[in-house]
């Protein structure tokens, strides 16, 4: 998480979904240093405050939810934007996407039942960021 998240923040900043400071690249090391520091400090604080099992569940839940969203998004884009160029093709897309989303959600829900309050809080924070900042500043929106 601590290696991948700064790069996700970098891409989100480039798209205007979060403030541009997350997209700053270190002049010498060519890495997203601001995002790396913020993710590292946040991880240290959370590791000090929450049990490691809860943190592991939250990371797994977030990953599974992201994968399920991608599966559903592929289906939606195939239906609504069939004209978009595709870098790759998904064979038997309806079957693969539905089974992929179902498998991710099946694995997601047992952990969610035990940690629903934490996950609901993270989702609420994400929604606040999206509706408070991202929606207005998104490059797709302009």
Quote the domain boundaries for residue 34: 1-49
pLDDT digits (tens, 9 = 90+) for 55-102: 888 888 989 999 999 999 999 999 999 898 888 888 899 999 999 999
Q: Is residue 13 part of a domain?
A: yes
| Arithmetic mean of pLDDT over the chain | 91
What are the percentages of helix, strand and coil residues in the chain, rounded to 5? 75, 0, 25
Examine residue 19 and state whether it is found in any structural domain, yes or no: yes
Asked if residue 31 belongs to a domain, the reply is: yes
Do the domain assignments include residue 20? yes
The verdict on residue 120 lying in a domain is no
CA 80 to CA 17: how far, in whole Å? 23
CA distance linking residue 138 with residue 132, whole number of Å: 12
Q: What is the pTM of this model?
A: 0.76
Query: 4 in a domain, yes or no?
Result: yes
Q: Which residues contact 76 (CB under 8 A, 6 or more apart)?
A: none
68 within domain boundaries: no
| Domain total of the chain | 1
Task: Compute the distance between CA of residue 114 and CA of residue 64 in angstroms, rounded to an integer.
Answer: 16
How many CA atoms does the CB half-sphere of 38 hold within 13 Å?
A: 16
Evaluate whether residue 45 is within a structural domain: yes
């Amino acid at each position: 998480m601590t290696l991948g998240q700064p790069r996700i923040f970098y891409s989100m900043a480039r798209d205007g979904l979060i403030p541009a400071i997350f997209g700053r690249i270190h002049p010498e090391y060519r890495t997203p240093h601001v995002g790396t520091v913020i993710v590292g400090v946040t991880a240290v604080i959370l590791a000090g405050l929450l049990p490691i099992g809860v943190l592991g569940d939250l990371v797994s839940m977030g990953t599974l939810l992201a994968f399920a969203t991608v599966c559903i998004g592929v289906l939606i884009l195939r239906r609504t934007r069939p004209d978009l160029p595709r870098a790759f093709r998904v064979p038997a897309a309806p079957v693969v996407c539905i089974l992929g989303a179902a498998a991710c959600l099946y694995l997601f829900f047992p952990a969610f039942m035990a940690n629903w309050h934490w996950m609901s809080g993270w989702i609420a924070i994400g929604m606040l960021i999206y509706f408070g900042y991202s929606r207005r500043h998104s490059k797709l929106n302009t």
